Amino acid sequence: MSHKLISSVWALAFLVAIQVSSPVFRFMLPAMALYVGCLLAYNYWYLRKHNFYSFWSWIRPAFFLAAMIGLYLIIPANFYRGVFLLLAIAMIYFLEFFLLTASEQIVFFETLIAYFGMALAVFGFNFYLLPRNTITLVLLALMTFCISRASFDYIPQSDQKKNFFAMFIAFSVLELSWGLIFLPIHFTALALILFNVFYVLWIVIYYYLFHNLSAKKITFHLIFAAIIIFFTFAATPWKL
């Protein structure tokens, strides 16, 4: 059986698993955990078979799937959930099909969507379920380190340097998150602000590790992120 066909099966299996289990929340989490576990088991075998295995390349799809599951849970309307699922299965197929590809475009696509999705989900859970802020901060720091470190995996640098910069981004995000969670604005705005800060830190370090960083690139990404953050603040009502 070709990997292209198997990728289609995995994408459709995500739709089936989430649709069958979603009416009952206590069934959904075990079902999705089983799905992610089975997918990772297949990916482990497939990566080993093609001598392409590394821990971070193997575990990286789990962060993307976690983002998809988290986003599904915080979308309130069934219609938008349906539209989201169609987009999700297309992206899962795309990433699974290119599992052996270490191109910059795929790394960018997977990293940024996974991070934005997980940030939105974590802030959403904080808003709806009202957990302790400590839990939210720990989750944000962990996901930032893991997604950053996984995205650096194919960069030809030492593991120590990649671990250091992933930890640097995680601690920077943790400091910012500590201030953001006290702002009286909607969780979607908080996630968008955090995402843009992560984006600037991550893209600058990514180019630095590739020895491809320039002042023009730093300026462009800083201005781009600052504009989005400015309009986010301007368009978001404050709950005073």
Mean pLDDT of successive 10-residue stretches along the chain, which has 240 residues: 88 90 78 93 94 92 93 84 91 91 86 94 85 87 96 91 96 92 88 95 93 89 93 81
Measured distance CA(205)–CA(136) in Å, rounded: 25
pLDDT score recorded for residue 240: 55
How far apart, in whole angstroms, are the C-alpha atoms of residue 216 and residue 110?
A: 25
pLDDT for res 61: 92
pLDDT confidence of residue 2: 84
Q: How far apart are CA 97 and CA 203, in angstroms?
A: 25
Question: How far is residue 28 from each of residues 8, 18, 143, 211, measured CA to CA in Å?
Answer: 21, 7, 21, 44
CA atoms of 137 and 126, how far apart (whole Å): 10
- Are 86 and 181 found together in one domain? no
Co-location of 107 and 94 in the same domain: no
pLDDT of res. 234: 86
Same domain, 108 and 215: yes
As for how many domains the chain has, the answer is 2
Containing 186, the helix (H) or strand (E) segment is: none
Q: How open is the CA angle 162-149-32, to the nearest 5 degrees?
A: 165
Helix (H) or strand (E) holding 213: none
Domain boundary among 71, 101, 131: 101
Helix (H, G, I), strand (E, B) or coil at 2: coil
The residue behind tokens 């904080």 is 126
- What DSSP line would sit under 29-77, residue for residue? HHHHHHHHHHHHHHHHHHHHHTT---HHHHHHHHHHHHHHHHHHHH---
Specify whether 227 is located in the same domain as 131. yes
To the nearest 10°, report the CA torsion of 220, 224, 226, 229: -160
Q: What is the structure's pLDDT at 127?
A: 83
pLDDT at position 45, please?
95
Residues 200 and 226 both lie in one domain? yes
135 and 230, same domain (yes or no): yes
Burial of 167 (0-12, 13-18, 19+ CB in 10 A): middle
Q: What are 203-211's contacts with CB under 8 Å, separation 24+?
A: 205/148, 205/165, 205/168, 205/169, 206/151, 206/152, 206/155, 209/152, 209/155, 209/157, 209/161, 209/162, 209/165, 210/155
210 with 151, same domain: the answer is yes
Pair 6, 43 in one domain: yes
Which domain covers residue 208, as residue numbers? 102-240
